[in-house]
Amino acid sequence: MSSLPEHDARDAVLQALLQIEEGRDARDALHRQLRNGWDKRDKAFITDLVYGVTRWRRVLDALIDQASNTPVSRQGKVVRNTLRMAFYQIRYQRSVPVRAAVHSAVELVKRRQHAGAARFANAVLRQHLRLHPEPGPVDPPFPDGIPKEAMLARKYSHPDWLVQRWSNHFGYEATEQLLIWNNLPAEITLRVNLLRLTPEKACEELTKLGWQVRRGRWLPEALRLPHGFSFDALPQHLQACFQVQDESSMLAVHALDPQPGWRVLDMAAAPGGKATHIAEKLSGHGQVYANDRSEQRLRLVRENFQRLGVLGQAVLIQQDARRLAAWWRANDLPPVDAVLLDAPCSGTGVLRRRVEARWSKTPEGLRQTVQLQQQLLEQAGQLVRPGGVLLYSTCSIEPEENQLQIEHFLKTHPEFRRGSLADRLPHELLQSGRWAEREGELQLFPPVHGTDGFYLCRLIRTN
């Protein structure tokens, strides 16, 4: 399997899983392990194990508990994460022989712990194979009388409370489709920098490098590449031609519809995907004020502006967006033509990409985020000129953060009204039934639209 000893790859997976359990972002934990000189095949193996174990953690834990007298919660971190890894290989990685998965897990526990822990791991794995001798995925055990929403949550490895609220909002069938979507490996979407390449030429260049490229579903500048695509592996001259950005995020900039000559503020700009897209739309005429409160994240914004060749249109600002209006006035800056507020949110629309995030979401966290969004909308309303545009967006599918948030804002700010998205977004998208119920707003639902879950609403400040 590898130019390095096989156990080293599983050591790397175990280290990443331990870091994720301690609260580290899965992408960051994985990146730290992939820096250690792995070949392409090893990288794919490690990535699939880290993401797969994290996605399916609840199912894996239920199967481990079924085969063990010691609950997962009472097992040591090394033992339970090694068992999760082995169970995932047995159930979901057809390329790994069962005997190899068992042997490597036992040896890994022996190296990292002691012989007694290795015997325990071996006994749990053997019992599991006696209970489920056939290869392939199996459902976790379901207690008698369990509600159907709780069965969904267990079967597809999501928290009960989240599945229950989605079923209440979207219905049982739509929720099941969403859970299936969240457990699929995420494609990589690139935005073509139209100042440098046409979409057709971009496809040609990527195909030459051996990548299978598909066009986006809604926008010509969107290209889709398979899970495992590495942006860093692109030649430097091509890195200036692309931005990693989901199509839903691109649609937000189309809904904003910035015009040449406008002054546009992106209130929460990092990492810079939307801000650089706005700059591209301005065609060299106008300014983008890109704000973020983190110096480190603002450096990333600058790097993306520079790489894409639009740094000359950027004004970088490091401020807390909750107090941005007062800073704006103190610096004697006039209101802008448009404000993009891509608000901090629960992120429930991007759980397919952020595989660890489903386990850290809480109802209280959602309530706190709603309050923060209200504060940011208050600031945004003060920063846009009369007749100007306020585009509000989130990567959430929760009504409290989206439709209900806008309803509250419009009730308390009669100087704003809904704007039109016609001629700004594809007609088919605006006719997608329940997801586009009111003029000026759109809720992207992943299984329906083939994008991240995303909400956007275009508002106009009246004269």
Rounded to 5 degrees, what angle do the CA atoms 454, 399, 411 make? 110
What separation in angstroms does the CA of 121 have from each of 21, 87, 93, 141, 310?
19, 11, 19, 20, 55
Token digits for 239?
């890195």
The C-alpha atoms of residue 34 and residue 264 are separated, in whole angstroms, by 38
**Is 395 labeled as catalytic in the residue annotation?**
yes
Q: Which of 398, 404, 402 is nearest to 348 (CA)?
A: 398
Mutual orientation of helices 77-92 and 6-21 as an angle, nearest 10°?
A: 120
Assign residue 145 a region: left if phi > 0, alpha if psi is -120 to 50, beta otherwise? Answer: left
For the beta carbon of residue 140, count every other beta carbon within 10 angstroms.
18
The β-bridge relationship of strands 188-192 and 242-244 is: antiparallel
Within a 13 Å sphere around the CA of 256, how many CA atoms are in the beta-carbon half?
33
Radius of gyration of the chain (CA): 24
The C-alpha atoms of residue 134 and residue 117 are separated, in whole angstroms, by 26
Residue with tokens 């629960």: 346
The C-alpha atoms of residue 263 and residue 336 are separated, in whole angstroms, by 5
- Let me know: does 245 contact 277? Beta carbons within 8 Å: yes
Q: Which of 109, 104, 64 is nearest to 84 (CA)?
A: 64
For the beta carbon of residue 209, count every other beta carbon within 10 angstroms.
12
* Amino acid identity at 215: R
- Tell me: cis bond preceding 344? Omega within 30 of 0 counts: no
The C-alpha atoms of residue 459 and residue 338 are separated, in whole angstroms, by 10
Exposed, middle or buried: residue 451 (CB in 10 Å: 0-12, 13-18, 19+)? buried
The C-alpha atoms of residue 32 and residue 39 are separated, in whole angstroms, by 15
Q: What element of type H or E holds 265?
A: strand 263-266
Catalytic residue among 203, 241, 345, 395: 395
- Let me know: does 58 contact 158? Beta carbons within 8 Å: yes
Name the residues annotated as catalytic.
Answer: 395
